[in-house]
Structure 1
Amino acid sequence: MCRVSTATVEGPYYIDKEIVRSDIREDQPGVPLELELRLVNANRGCAPTAGAVVSVWHCNAEGEYSGYLFDDSSEFPEMGVADETGHVPQRDTERFLRGVQTTDPDGKVTFRTIFPGWYTPRAVHIHVRAYLSERDMITTQIYFPQAVVNTIHSKHGPYKDRGVSVYTNENDFIIRPEEILEVQVREDNTLFATMTFGASNV
């Protein structure tokens, strides 16, 4: 079904200094993940949207965001330092697990990354923002099947020391069921995850 993807908040850890790259790992440890996103126009029969700028950002295996390594990922974020939009100013120069790509003629971008860890009080997720034009964009968050999260976080280093979080897809306060990625486990135990986004660009 062709529909507009659910728009959600950017969260407190967005940094607007875009790094154009497909490999965003920067030697961060974790289960390798190839993330393929496809952007389509929901107003035009889900035709591919070429030339859009897609930005992704997520935490590392320890639940830490680059630019915000002062936060304890096992505690609630210190939102007292956030501005009126909910954004927290960054305090370090790290930029791992952040990047941007431009969609190809099929509307696709691909990122090489790692499976995210967890932090309080959210289910495991990746942030996505697509710039459709100078004035149009969509911001959303995407999630993994809970069974995949449970397996990765309980059996693989460097996740298993922290284990599976009590914050799951079932109790997350932002998740929408339609924003869960399709995930395949390859023969070499790396992951391939994909999702199609519908945007109502002009």
Structure 2
Amino acid sequence: MDDSVDPRTSRRRWLALGLAGVVGPALAAPAKSTPKPRAPAPKPAARGPVRHQAAPSAAAAAAPPKIVQREPALVPRLTAGTTEGPYYSGPGPVRSDISEGLPGVPLEVRFVVVDQTALPFAGALVDLWHCDARGVYSGYAGQGDQGDVDTRGRSFLRGRQATDRNGVAAFRTIYPGWYPGRTTHLHFKIWNAENTVLTSQFFLPDALSEYLYTQLDDYRRGRLRDTLNSTDGIALQVGNSLLGSVREEREQYVVTLAVAVDRSARPAPELPPPDAGARPPGPLPVLDSAERRLSLVPGRR
């Protein structure tokens, strides 16, 4: 070791070597600056007379509107028809209130009728009929739990309305009851002048029906109904082609039915109702059983 080396000089050399190893080339060589591109030289002005061009207007500058091709109207799914049942007695009286003051929970039934092109079917005639809170229809004998009820000569819970320009017809009535072998339902027909274009039925929610039938005196019977929506052959036949909803208002329930018909349809011959076949043999479980309770609620069956 050379003792003649200035210790201050050695320390400066050691620090310089150490920093270069830690920081790296960034301190060893400064970064070169990137030269900025030069702006292109202006072109020489053209010789000759100067012509002034008007600025384009905003309308001319805008892109031309895009032409959208309209799709043809979608053909609605026609509502499925089914049997009119044994208690149809012809067109009902023209009226909107068909309840005739009978006991029961107030119900409004609103039909929204469209044709095969999805246009409102104005002027269509709508017939509605159903049983009362005890499962009895007007106009027939041999009804009731004992078969001793005779309502011949009466017309309660039957009526007819013409649809307005929006295809709407509304009826004021009561929530229907039930009778053996059938779930809770409403009957209806749609007419185009003198021609029947649809005969069908609408089925009310099982859970709501069960509550009314077991809790309200107007509907309570000595036994439970034996058929639900999930075991009624006619309900299974119609399926989901009839679009409807049930809404609760302060003074009534409101049923809204969206019905699609073919104006040119011809009435099909009346066929016997389908067998209730999907129903298992024997009575349904009693109300207190878990099986019956679950069968009342969609998604739990």
TM-score by length of 2: 0.58
Change (3 A) 1:74 1:115: farther
Q: Within 5 Å, which residues of 2 pair with 1:80-119?
A: 92-119=152-179
Distance 1:167 1:6 in 2: 21
Change (3 A) 1:181 1:3: same
**Residue 136 of structure 1: CA displacement?**
4.3
Letter in 2 for 1:2: P
The unaligned stretches of length 5 or more in structure 2 are: 1-74, 265-301
SS in 2 for 1:174: helix
Superposition CA RMSD, Å: 2.0
**Which one has the bigger helix percentage?**
2
Distance 2:243 2:220 in 1: 22
Letter in 1 for 2:105: V
- 1:132 aligned onto 2:192: yes
Residues 73 and 118 in structure 1, CA contact (< 8 A), matched pair in contact too: no
> What is the number of equivalent residue pairs in this alignment?
185
Aligned to 2:44: none
Identity of aligned residues (%): 35
SS in 2 for 1:48: coil
Aligned to 2:257: 195
Distance 1:170 1:36 in 2: 24
Match of 2:89 among 15, 18, 23: 15
Larger Rg: 2
Distance 1:8 1:60 in 2: 21
Residues 189 and 196 in structure 2, CA contact (< 8 A), matched pair in contact too: no
SS in 2 for 1:33: strand
SS in 2 for 1:95: coil
Deviates more, 1:54-63 or 1:149-158: 149-158
Aligned to 1:155: 215
Distance 1:17 1:33 in 2: 21
SS in 2 for 1:181: strand
Higher relative contact order (CA 8 A, sep 6+): 1
Q: Which runs of 4+ in 1 moved over 4 A?
A: none
TM-score by length of 1: 0.84
SS in 2 for 1:170: helix
- 1:3 aligned onto 2:66: no
**Residue 27 of structure 1: CA displacement?**
1.3
Residues 243 and 258 in structure 2, CA contact (< 8 A), matched pair in contact too: no
Letter in 2 for 1:13: Y
**Which one has the bigger strand percentage?**
1
Deviates more, 1:123-132 or 1:12-21: 12-21
SS in 1 for 2:229: coil
**Residue 133 of structure 1: CA displacement?**
3.2
- 1:173 aligned onto 2:233: yes
Residues 39 and 48 in structure 1, CA contact (< 8 A), matched pair in contact too: yes
Change (3 A) 1:131 1:10: same
